[in-house]
Amino acid sequence: MRPLVLGAALFAVLFWGGSPVGTKVAVSELAPLPMSALRAAIAAPVGVALALLFKVPLPRSWREAGLLALCAFCGFIGFPVIFSFGVARTSAIHAGMILAMLPVFTGAIANLMDRRWPGRMWWAGCGIAICGEALLIFGRAGPGAEASLVGDAFCVASASIASLGYVTGARLSLAGYPSQGTTYWGIALATLVFLPFMPWMFDGIVWGAISLPAWAGLIYLSLGVSMLGYVIWYWALGQGGIARIGVLQFLQPVSGLVLAWLLLGEPLTATVIAAGLIVLAGVFIATRR
C-alpha cells in the first residue's frame, strides 16, 4: 500500500473521529431531521461551486448515475439522519465505538459483491479489533448510563448504510469517475431531495436561539466531514482497495474517544485506553498484508 494512500485514509478516519462529538453538540439544540437537512444544505453550494470551478463532470452513463444516486442517499441522507437519531439517544463515546463496526460492514459488503473471501490476516486483525471494541463497550462506566438500546440500534443501522455508500463510492472511483464528483454532486443531489421537506422541517425553529457551539458543530459536519473527509476517503478506497483501506476505520473510535474526553468531558479511563491499543493492534495486523 502506498504511503500517500495510507496517509490520506488515516487523515480522513481521524478527521471523522469528531463526527459523534459534532453531532452530539448539534442535536442538543436541533432535531435530527432539520440538522441533517442543514448539514447538506450548507455544504451543497460549496460543492457545486467547486465542481464548476474544477470542471468536475456529471456521471457519464446511467450506471454511474445510479451508483452516484445510491452513494448520495447512503452518505448524505441515510447515514446522517439515522446516526443523528442515534446520537440524540446515546453518548458520543458509545456512538463512536459503534462506528468501529464500519470496516467490518465495508469489507463484508465489498467482498460479498465481489464474491471473494478475505485472507486470514484480515479476519485475524478484524477479530482482534472487535475484541477491543467489545472491551470499550462492556468494560466502562459513566457514558454507558447515557446510552440506550434504541440509540445503539440507530447507530448500528447508520453504520451499515454508510458502509454501503463507501463501497458504492469506491466502485465509482474504480470506474474512473473522480471522487470529487461523488462528493460534490452527491451532496447536491441529497440537498434536492431534502428541499421539498425543508419548510416542514424548519417550522418552529428559533434561529437566533441556536448557540455558536451548535453552529460550529454543524459547519464542521457539513464542510469537514461531508466534504473534505468524503473526497479523501473515496479516493483512498479506490486507490488502496476497499477491504484493506476500509479496516482503517477501526481507528475512528479511538480519535472519537479522545475528542469526546477533551470537548465533552466524557471519562477516558484506563480500560478505554487499553481497548484502544487493542484496536490499533488489530488494524496493524489486518492492513500489513
Alpha-carbon Rg of the chain, whole angstroms? 18
What are 189's three cell numbers?
A: 443531489
CA nearest neighbour of 172 among 65, 53, 40: 65
Distance in angstroms (rounded) separating the CA atoms of residues 245 and 123: 14
Q: How many domains would you assign to the chain? A: 1
Q: What is the residue range of 271's domain?
A: 3-287
- Per-residue pLDDT reduced to its tens digit, 87-119: 998 888 878 877 877 777 887 788 888 787 778
pLDDT, the chain, mean: 84
Cα 144 to Cα 138, 158, 267: the distances in Å are 9, 20, 11
What are 8's three cell numbers?
A: 490520506
What are 131's three cell numbers?
A: 475484541
Distance in angstroms (rounded) separating the CA atoms of residues 41 and 129: 36
- Residue-level pLDDT at 252: 74
Q: Which H, E and C letters describe the chain, residue by residue? A: CCHHHHHHHHHHHHHHCCHHHHHHHHHCCCCHHHHHHHHHHHHHHHHHHHHHHCCCCCCCCHHHHHHHHHHHHHHHHHHHHHHHHHHCCCCHHHHHHHHHHHHHHHHHHHHHHHCCCCCHHHHHHHHHHHHHHHHHHHCCCCHHHHCCHHHHHHHHHHHHHHHHHHHHHHHHHHCCCCHHHHHHHHHHHHHHHHHHHHHHHHCCCCHHHCCHHHHHHHHHHHHHHHHHHHHHHHHHHHHHCHHHHHHHHHHHHHHHHHHHHHHHCCCCCHHHHHHHHHHHHHHHHHHCC
pLDDT cut 90: percent of the chain above it: 37
Distance in angstroms (rounded) separating the CA atoms of residues 112 and 194: 31
User: pLDDT grade, residue 250 (50/70/90)?
Assistant: low
Would you say 101 and 155 are in contact if contact means Cβ atoms under 8 Å apart?
Answer: no
What are 141's three cell numbers?
A: 462506566
- Per-residue pLDDT reduced to its tens digit, 44-71: 999 999 899 989 899 989 999 999 999 9
Task: Report residue 159 CA to chain centroid gap.
Answer: 8
User: Which range is least confidently modeled, 72-76, 98-102, 165-169, 182-186?
Assistant: 98-102
pTM score of the predicted model = 0.82
